[in-house]
Structure 1
Amino acid sequence: MSRPAVDIELANRARTELAHAIRDFLRERTAVDSPLFDVSAKMVYGNYASARSLPLLMDLVNAKATPEQVGERLKTVGVQLGLVMNGIGWVYTLGRIQQYLDAGWPEKNVTIADDERAAEVFTWWARIVQSSRNDGHLIPGYGGASPILTTLTEDTVRDLAAAASARGPITDPATLRRAVAELDMYEFVTHAEARDGIHHHGPYPLGDGRVMLVKEFTDLQGRYMPSVTDEHRLDVSRIVIALVLRDVDIRFDIFAVYAEPENYLDQAEAVQILAGDELEPITIEQLGTIAASSVHAQRKYFLTMAGWDDQTKVTHAASQYANDFHALMLLAGYTHDEIRDLFITPFEKNAEEFFDRATGPDRMRIFEHVIGDHEPISPDFQE
């Protein structure tokens, strides 16, 4: 399949909206810390590797599917998605800015001779996102987009809501709340203190003050995270929870979902729960059992991570970030062995030269630059 043409206007729009969404997201966060990791170092390490490797991902995916075909495939329930599209935009934007800062930008007018390739990546990213979202925009709340994230077709929304209503009222809300919290924490721990694998979307209007919010937990049997073994994996590969809510205001930013009232599970009138490769319906009690098993698995993995040496606590970010993006290769039709050989291993190799920069005294500069007031946040593409 031929490489898609570069659209400079679309690439600059994507680059600008991503940079401002990242700025706003970071400005609302306090300092990130962890008892296990030097979080800034591992993020910078992963960003460098991503900037180097994502053109390869684009080429591999383009070889089997157009951006529009990938976008359409993302419009399904339970796709092994996590943070993949916004995550790609996030790390590619930051990794590219890091390279320009290293070269002396913005104090000096410099180039790292990446414009053509980078514009191609941003164009590709934007075309996938526009095809996957129902509103044709890129990021919730930017570029004229409402702060929502809707991707499913009307028929899919109708069927999910009908299945939820057919179950009747939620009889065990405490188990539902606990299960969601346990799955959230499982994803956080087994993705090395990141929320990769969690995908929320909606709100889908159902009428009469009701909306549906879909919560997806994927990568529950991860293959590519360092040290993950069968004892850390759950019995199911993915879980989808579709909540029918009344009188709840829901909005999104680049990554997070916000609800008013905050305890929106208390407003749930009905729920549909699907699990496994075939997304078969399960009961709230079955969900509770699966989630309870995750507690032991996450504890085991936390102890594994605690035993890593200082270098691994940074360099694992290469495997972690590469893992985030393998979903696109699955959608394009690659096997797991092909994904590891063609993308995961090269991604990890591409990261190695950046260890000293990622752990050096200037590693915080990227965050200081992004949350500052400099405009543009990243270098413009020229016609």
Structure 2
Amino acid sequence: MPDMGTDLTYAKLLETNNYLRQLSDTTYWLCITRTVQESKLFPMNPYMLLSYLNTFYRLPTLLREIDAATPAEELGDRAREVSLKVDTVNAAWGMPAFYLIGREMLMNWGLLGPADAVDDVVDVLDFSRRFNLAYHRNDGHLTNKEFGDRSQFLPERQLQVFESDLHGVTPGDRLHTAATKLIAQLSQYAFLAHCECRIGIHTSGPYNFGENRQLIVRDFFELTEGDYPWLDGIATQLPHANLTIPIVFKDTNFNLMDDWASFEAEPSYDASNIAAVGMYTSDALTDGYVPVGMDSADVLAETMEHYREILNQATADLWKRIAGWSREQMIDAGALVYSSVAKDFAHLAGTYRQSDWFELDDRVQRFKPLMNDEYGRDNLGEMVGLLGFPHQKTNEYSMARYSGLNQNMLTGIPYTVLTDDDFARTAGSTLSGSTSLPPKNGLWTTSQGRLEVDDFNARARDFTPGALTDGNRYLDEEWVKRNYGTERADALYRQTQATSRNLAGRGSGLRRADLP
């Protein structure tokens, strides 16, 4: 029996394969039921396939470094308190799914067996599982799908601040108009900045706000200079890289919030049903959500109007820049957007290096000649839609969860790795790569100003948010339910209330009926 170390056990493999099968079922359901994004500008299918390979070769090494600096479950605790790009679509679903799809590609080509890279697979899924359990701690589930397609990770203390501070609107008033126009502009810009894919936009909820009202929280990321080299010099008048817009809807039931952070509602999403809005920012250096223009409805409307003007110009500027790219540059950019979905873990841990996340690995570069549009389309469709690869078949008696067919998108680890040794335990830890894109030269936009990356890393390593200090980390909703009004509970709530316009200093004893 090979020496696999203390971590690889039968129990660990059972847990890994269970999580892998959940991801397989959920990803298949998403691929066949949700809207398919296509682009007339970017070669999306080729760049997606290359991104999966890049994730397979690079992610295990990078996650091990991050996990050693800040454990995955602590990162989940951090992400639960604010809106960060380590969210449902990027980190919770995208990171492990992209890695495993890259593994499927290599198995289909005969370059990998199901036992190969077992240490990598176990480590990636273990990190992902620990992060997800902590991130979803307040609703007690592993994924949105497991929760019936809901995403309710925010604590009561934050939701009380939102309910108290959001500004009411009526259709046609200045703030309602400013908010709906800004959301439309943010959506257009975020799609373009992310090479016409959805991962720069996140939606969570719904939360019950009573009187037939529900709150959803919409997040928009990478709005100006930061990790993406192509955003250097773009939207530099915007003071925030990320914006969060909580929205209260009346007479609307959001009955689906899936792991791609897309949603469905009855009746359908209608801006005329928006009853209240607000705006905040957060990043790896903020202690909770920071209000943006929340002093009054007029100030918020003016701020939203100003940001829309900036982003409207930024969209035009970015279109002009991308229009000058070659096909290879478009493929590289899209592949790096996808394969870097876990990069904000490195920002939180203070281990971020640009070359780790924004180069295509040399092992991936060799597959570029395959990636014309036809091959990309057919290979992707066969792998995640038709499930037509021979190795995706199971025995003739089995019936998969959603298709009822004897085939699965993702392949489990054979348990013979515990007794055999005819496999490679890892894909390797030496990373080298390149990109056809211009190098990153700009600064990183943060809540503490525009920083060099080494300064950003140092500040991140030295920062711990209040919700994780002074014994607060384990003061969960179950504890608060039995200890509200105590000194510890009041201190925890007052931290979240510190920047609230209406709740500052009120503590933990409030019910919804008590909110101003």
TM-score bracket, shorter-length normalisation: 0.7 to 0.9
Normalising by structure 2, report the TM-score: 0.66
Contact 1:319/1:348 (<8 A) preserved: no
Counterpart for residue 459 of structure 2:
none
Instruction: Say whether residues 1:123 and 2:126 are aligned partners.
Output: yes
Give the letter for the 2:158 counterpart. Answer: T
Match among 147, 152, 155 for residue 153 of structure 1: 155
SS at match of 2:60: helix
Return the offset for 1:50. 0.8
Secondary structure of residue in 2 paired with 1:56: helix
Change (3 A) 1:241 1:269: same
**In the TM superposition, what are the counterparts of 1:103-142 in structure 2 within 5 Å?**
103=110, 110-111=113-114, 113-133=116-136, 134-142=138-146
Within 1, Cα distance between the matches of 2:72 and 2:50? 27
The 1:304/1:246 distance shift into structure 2, 3 A limit, reads same
- After TM superposition, list the pairs within 5 Å mapping 1:170-249 onto structure 2: 170=170, 171-172=173-174, 173-233=176-236, 234-249=238-253
Is this contact kept in 1: 2:279–2:292, CA < 8 A? yes
Deviation at 1:339, TM superposition (A): 2.5
Shift of the alpha carbon at 1:203?
A: 0.9
Letter aligned with residue 21 of structure 2: T
1:361-372 to 2 correspondences below 5 Å? 362-363=375-376, 364-372=378-386
Instruction: Report the equivalent of 2:314.
Output: 297
TM-score, normalised by the number of residues in structure 1: 0.87
- Tell me if the contact between 2:226 and 2:241 (Cα under 8 Å) persists in the aligned partners: no
Q: Secondary structure at the match of 2:277?
A: strand
Letter in 2 for 1:281: V
54-63 or 260-269, which deviates more: 260-269
Name the CA shift for 1:208/1:9 in 2 (closer, same or farther; >3 Å). Answer: farther
1:220 Cα offset (Å): 1.3
More helix by share: 1
Q: Relative to structure 1, is the Cα distance of residues 181 and 203 closer, same or farther in structure 2, using a 3 angstrom cutoff?
A: same
1:268 corresponds to which of 274, 279, 293: 274
Question: 2:48 aligned to 3, 23, 43, which one?
Answer: 43
Q: Aligned pair in 2 of structure 1 residues 375, 182: CA closer, same or farther (>3 Å)? A: same
Q: Which amino acid aligns with 1:340?
A: Q
Aligned to 1:351: 364
Query: Which residue of structure 1 aligns with residue 109 of structure 2?
Result: 102
Equivalent residue number for residue 52 of structure 1? 57
Judge which range, 30-39 or 68-77, deviates more: 30-39
What is the RMSD computed on CA atoms of the aligned residues? 2.6
Partners of 2:308 and 2:362 lie apart in 1 by 35
Partner in structure 2 of residue 15 of structure 1: 20
Alignment of 1:20-31 (within 5 A): 20-28=25-33
Tell me by how many angstroms 1:26 deviates. Answer: 1.8
Residue 360 of structure 1 and its aligned partner are, at CA, apart by: 7.9
Q: 1:339 aligns with which of 325, 331, 353?
A: 353
What is the alpha-carbon distance in structure 1 between the residues aligned to residue 25 and residue 225 of structure 2? Answer: 32
Quote how far apart the aligned CAs of 1:348 are: 4.8
DSSP-derived class of the 1:376 partner: coil
Matched, 1:285 2:302: yes
What is the match of residue 253 of structure 1? 258
**Which ranges of structure 1 fall in alignment gaps of 5 or more residues?**
none
Please say if residues 140 and 149 of structure 1, whose CA atoms lie closer than 8 Å, have aligned partners that are also in contact.
yes
The answer as to whether partners of 2:225 and 2:233 remain within 8 angstroms in 1 is no
Q: Distance in 1 between matches of 2:115 and 2:198?
A: 32
What is the Cα deviation at residue 263 of structure 1?
A: 2.6
Q: Secondary structure at the match of 1:243?
A: strand
C-alpha change, 1:26 and 1:286, in structure 2 (3 Å) is same
Structure 1 Cα separation of the partners of residues 366 and 201 of structure 2: 30
- Tell which deviates more after alignment, 46-55 or 267-276: 267-276
AA matched with 1:257: F
Deviation of residue 47 (structure 1)?
A: 0.9
Letter in 2 for 1:56: T
What is the rounded CA distance, in whole Å, between the counterparts of 2:361 and 2:190 in structure 1? 22
CA offsets per residue over residues 97-137 of structure 1, 9 Å max, x none? 111111189xxxx4361223212211211110111012332
Give the secondary structure class of the aligned counterpart of 1:75. helix
CA deviation string 1:7-55 (max 9, x = no partner): 3233222211222222122223566532222211011011110111110
Label 1:30 to 1:265 Cα distance change in 2 as closer, same or farther (>3 A).
Answer: closer
Which whole-Å CA distance do the structure 2 matches of 1:241 and 1:29 have between them?
23
Change (3 A) 1:268 1:221: same
Partner in structure 1 of residue 479 of structure 2: none
Using a 3 Å threshold, how does the CA distance of structure 1 residues 374 and 238 change in structure 2: closer, same or farther? same
Cα distance change, pair 249–281 in 1 and its aligned pair in 2 (3 A): same
* Alignment partner, residue 380 of structure 1: 412
Aligned with 1:327 (options 331, 341, 344): 344
**Cα deviation digits, residues 281-315 of structure 1 (max 9, x gap):** 31033112202321221122122222211222212
Q: What CA distance in whole angstroms lies between the structure 1 residues aligned with 2:77 and 2:214? A: 23
Separation in structure 2 between the aligned mates of residue 192 and residue 327 of structure 1, nearest angstrom: 18
Q: Do 2:58 and 2:361's aligned partners in 1 also have CA atoms closer than 8 Å?
A: no
TM-fit CA distance, 1:259: 2.1
Q: Deviations over 1:50-76 (max 9, x none)?
A: 111110221121111112101101102
Aligned 8 A contact 1:10 1:126 in 2? no
1:88 pairs with 83, 89, 95, which one? 95
